Structure formats: structure tokens, C-alpha cells
Amino acid sequence: MTALLSLSGVSRRFDNGTQAIARLDMDVAPREFVSLVGPSGCGKSTALRIIAGLLTPDTGTVTFPDEKPEIGFVFQEPTLMPWGSALTNVRLPLDLEHMNRGESNDRAARALKRVGLSGFEKAFPRELSGGMKMRVSIARAIAAEPKLLLMDEPFAALDELTRQALNDDLLKLWAEDELTVIFVTHSVYESTYLSSRVVVMTPRPGRVAADIALSPPPIRDESYRLTPDFTQAAGRVSAALKHAMAA
Amino acid sequence: MNAALKYIVPAAVGVTALLLWEWRVHASGISPLVLAAPSDIWAAFLANFDVLMGALWTTLRVTMIAFVFAVFGGVAVAILFSQSRLIEFAFYPFAIILQVTPVVAIAPLLLIWIGYDNITTVLVVLAWIISFFSILSNMVVGLRSADHNLVDLLKLYGASRWQIFWRLQLPGALPYLLSGMKVSGGLALIGAVTAELVAGSGNDTGLGWIITLAGRNLETAKVFAALAMLSVLGIAIFFALTALEWALLHRWHDSAVKKQS
């Protein structure tokens, strides 16, 4: 299958001299759910920003063999405009492309409904819980109907139950919208639950230490976390991460 | 604290202070030329009501014109600074020089340049100089404080520089602007009065000039009456701007949201 995107020999050094990424080679196929796992500072977020085009690599290239897809981005923080209602926030990417107000409102309201926030259109971010804010952030990302969704530790600050609920909602969106997702996380269990593939990175400067293909059931729920398959898959990711850290 | 106590306590302190002041002046026989009793000040206020109210209007007008120019000018210059570091580097030092130079020292020059027949303009310019900088500095910080991730997000969606400014930087700077306006409003009033003290008065007499004249004539009660009116005016400006801040921010900004206890 033709890759949706390819990273080839990508490296990046910051102005302060820190080499964030040494050399990153990676292909991502359409509809894959890839998690980037690695210790803090290994360049996961930098890689995501390079893919998004927010940073340029010092060496190497990011190529999209077909045309560059519409990209959605979800940050670790909800990154909402505090002065705007949930609807206004979700509508942002649509407003930027000058979509007419009626259509953009409809699409934003639909996106909010899909993340379980129907009825909260007029709520301001400060009136929402952490999990709800993150749902608004995801709604904003899917409202623009992206093909590639980049997520930078989006659920790291949430409690475990909210995180698991959002994991399931994300999988549903991934399946329904035929998305390709690149998901940065520190959590071995989260990456194992969500991904069809886990890329483990070395400590700074980041390189690919292991590329692990997983075979989770296409439809999974709470019970999957208790299966031997899940435990075994998590064990593989965990072992690869320990090996990468020790290297 | 009980909400009513927040008003009752300072009011009680104020009334007690006035009563003590009244008693002390009468009991000690202090000359009314040195310290007027509150009752004398009230009498002076009533006796000079028309003059004082006219002066209040004059001072308020100068204050408001200077304040409006400070807001629009400060915001406009801050926008220029936020769009170009080069412009900021080139002009920010001069804005600081304007701010730190005592207005009293600039007044004679402005009188020469603008003319003694145009005192009101001199007063407005002097009050503007004093009140402009707090708007400028707050607005510059506000425009710079946009969430970097949001800026990146807008760039990712192909936003133009204008869209980033209009949709993100400007609304994000509003709390900073309103905070600057609360300081600037008070400074504009101080500037208007100070300007009158140093530049004199034009055709219309403001409270600053009333204080100058009454002081020269040893009309101490009238000086106090004018001072009290200035205090009330300053408080009114502060509360009006606080109300504006609440109206614009109370739904979304922490500074205007009631703490939950």
C-alpha cells in the first residue's frame, strides 16, 4: 500500500543547541493508527510538528506521496480560545476558510454531538471540565474533516476513567472517518490499546528504536484491556521501551 | 466576609473620620485658613456649586478626550509594535522617554509650541502623555501573550497574519487592555489636573485651576471641596472602567469571574 506520508532522514536541532531528533525514518500508511512512544524529550512532539509543517527539519524530508492531506492537530492542552463558546471554538477552522456561517454552525454542532457534547454549544471553556475541554478540542480537529489527525499527548492530564472513555471515543472517530492517526503518548497501555502500530523512540536525540505491529481487534472495549492478548502486546511495547531507554 | 459588611465597614470608618475631623477642628480652634471643618467644606461646596460643577465638567472633558486618545493611540501603536519587531525597537525607547520625562517639565515647551491662546489643547496633550503609556505597555504585552499552540493551530489551518491578529491576538489582549485602561483613566485625571496646575487655564476653568486660585486666596474650604470632587470623579472613572471590564470579561476571564468558595 502507498504510504500516506514518509519521513526520511529527518533531524532537528533547536536554537539552544539541543539535538531533538537525530535521524527519523518512518512510513505511515493510510488509516493506520500509529503511536509514538518514548521518554520525555526524545523528540516525539517535535516529530509531530515537523509532520504538521509547523517546524522544518534540518535534514531529511517529509513527503506525502499523494497530495498533502487535510491535517487536524490536538495538543496536550485543550488549547481553546477562552473568549469563545464551544461552538465558536469548534467552528474556528471552518471560519478560517470562510465557510458560510449557517453551514459552519451545523458542522460544528455535529462535531460536538459526535464527541458527546450536544447541548454544550454555548458553554465557555471555563464552564467545562478538563475532559469536556479536550472533547471540544477533538471536535474542532474533526470539524475540518481531516484525513490525518496528529495528537500530542492529548489525554495525559486527564484522570484514568476519562482517559479510557476518550480512548474509546477516539477509536470510534478513527473508524467512522477513516482517519490516519499519529498519536504521541508516554503510556504503554494507552498506545497498546489504541494502536495498530507502536513506534518506540530512543532517548534524545530521538531515533526509531523499535517498530511494533499490533493486531488489536477492530472493535474493542473495556474487556480487551483484560485479555491475555492485550497484556502480551503491552509487554512487547514495554520491553521495547526499556531496551530503548537502556541503549 | 458578609457582602453588606464590605460596604458598611468602610462607610462607618469614613463617617467616623469626618466626625472626628469636625470635632477636632472646633475643639482645638485651628484656623479655618489652615484646616477647614467638613461642615465648612460642604458650605463652600454649596456656595460655589455652579463654579465647581462647571470646573468639574471642564476637567472631566479634558480627562475624557485625553483618555480616548490614549486608548486609541496606545492600541494603534501597540498593534504596530506587535506586527514588527523593527518598529518596536525603533520607537519603544522614545515612548519610554515620553513616559519618564516629568510632565511639569514639558508644559512650558508645549505652551510655546501650541500657544497660550490654546491652553485646552495643551492640557489634553499633557494628560494624554501621562495616560498613554499604560495603555501601550499593557497592550503590547497582551498582543504578545497569545497562546503559542493556538497560533500554531491557526497557521496549520492556513490562517493569514490578519486572521491570527483578528481572531487570536486582539481578543486575547482585551484583559490586558482593560487593565491598562483602569490605570490610564486615573492617570488621565491626574494629568488633566497637573496640567492645569502648571499650564494654567484657558477659557474654561477646571478643578486644578480652581484649587490654584482658591489656595492663593486662602479659601481652604473651597480647596477641600474641589479636592473632594476630584476624588469622587477619580472613583467614578475607576468604577465605570471596572464595570466595563466586568461586562466584557465576566463570562470567560478569571480576573472577572467570582471565586467559587
Cell numbers for A213, please give them: 505491529
Q: For A182-228, how does the pLDDT look when each residue is reduced to its tens digit (9 = 90+)?
A: 999 999 999 999 999 999 999 988 899 999 999 999 888 889 999 99
Model confidence at B246, pLDDT cuts 50, 70, 90, reads very high
Strands of chain A (E only): list them: 5-13, 19-28, 33-37, 59-63, 71-74, 148-152, 180-185, 197-201, 206-213
pLDDT on residue A86: 97
Give the residue from B149, B156, B162 with the most A CB atoms within 10 Å of its CB, the best one to mutate.
Answer: B156
Q: What span, in angstroms and rounded, lies between the C-alpha atoms of A152 and A79?
A: 12
Evaluate if residue A57 carries a pLDDT over 90: yes
Provide the shortest C-alpha distance from residue B80 to chain A (in Å).
23
Q: For B170-190, how does the pLDDT look when each residue is reduced to its tens digit (9 = 90+)?
A: 999 999 999 999 999 999 999
Task: Kindly state whether B150 is in contact with chain A, defined as any CB-CB distance less than 8 angstroms.
Answer: yes
Taking CA atoms, B121 is separated from B62, B80, B103, B208, in Å, by 9, 26, 14, 15
Q: For B94-143, how does the pLDDT look when each residue is reduced to its tens digit (9 = 90+)?
A: 888 888 888 888 888 998 999 888 889 999 999 999 999 999 999 999 99
Task: Kindly state whether B254 is in contact with chain A, defined as any CB-CB distance less than 8 angstroms.
Answer: yes
Evaluate if residue A92 carries a pLDDT over 90: yes
Phi, psi of A62 (to 5 degrees): -115, 120
3-state secondary structure of A213: strand
Task: Kindly state whether B149 is in contact with chain A, defined as any CB-CB distance less than 8 angstroms.
Answer: yes
Higher pLDDT, A151 or B32: A151
pLDDT on residue B1: 61
ipTM at complex level: 0.90
Is B252's CB within 8 Å of A82's CB?
yes
**CA neighbor of A75 nearest in space, from A150, A145, A139:** A150
Verify cis geometry, omega within 30 degrees of 0, for the bond prior to B93: no
Is A79's CB within 8 Å of B171's CB?
no
Task: Kindly state whether B174 is in contact with chain A, defined as any CB-CB distance less than 8 angstroms.
Answer: yes
Is B253's CB within 8 Å of A95's CB?
no
Model confidence at B260, pLDDT cuts 50, 70, 90, reads very low
Q: For A227-247, how does the pLDDT look when each residue is reduced to its tens digit (9 = 90+)?
A: 999 999 999 999 999 999 887
Q: For A33-43, how does the pLDDT look when each residue is reduced to its tens digit (9 = 90+)?
A: 999 999 988 99
Positive or negative torsion for Cα A93, B143, B235, B128: negative
Q: What span, in angstroms and rounded, lies between the C-alpha atoms of B241 and B243?
A: 5
**CA neighbor of B135 nearest in space, from B82, B72, B44, B196:** B72
3-state secondary structure of B258: coil
Evaluate if residue B202 carries a pLDDT over 80: no
Which residues make Cβ contacts (< 8 Å) with residue A9, sequence separation at least 6?
A23, A24, A25, A59, A60, A61
Write the DSSP string, B112-176: HHH-GGGHHHHHHHHHHHHHHHHHHHHHHHHHHTS-HHHHHHHHHTT--HHHHIIIIIHHHHHHH
Q: For A101-141, how does the pLDDT look when each residue is reduced to its tens digit (9 = 90+)?
A: 999 999 999 999 999 999 999 999 999 999 999 999 999 99
pLDDT on residue B249: 93
